[in-house]
Amino acid sequence: MSLIAELLEEYQSEIETIKLVPSSGGVFEVIVNDTLIFSKKNLERHAEPGEVISLFGNHINSNN
């Protein structure tokens, strides 16, 4: 299952829009409401399975 599909399955009622922005150099960043919650470039590694979903949930729950 893709990350987008997982996010929508878990948090459909909380998500208004999702935007994918192509980039180069292996950059993969997840930004929620102008807050960077995951950066492959900064961490120098790929996300672990479920990691982005967990970070997303933590972020939206801390802002409610």
Dihedral of CA atoms 62, 60, 33, 40 in degrees, nearest 10, equals 100
pLDDT at 43: 96
As a whole number, mean pLDDT of residues 26-34 equals 92
Kindly list the domain boundaries of the chain, sorted by start residue.
Answer: 3-62
Q: Residue 1 — very low, low, confident or very high, per pLDDT cuts 50/70/90?
A: confident
- Report whether pLDDT(64) > 80: no
Rounded distance between C-alpha atoms, residue 56 and residue 21, angstroms: 18
**In Å, how far are 6, 52, 62, 63 from 2, measured between CA atoms?**
6, 11, 25, 25
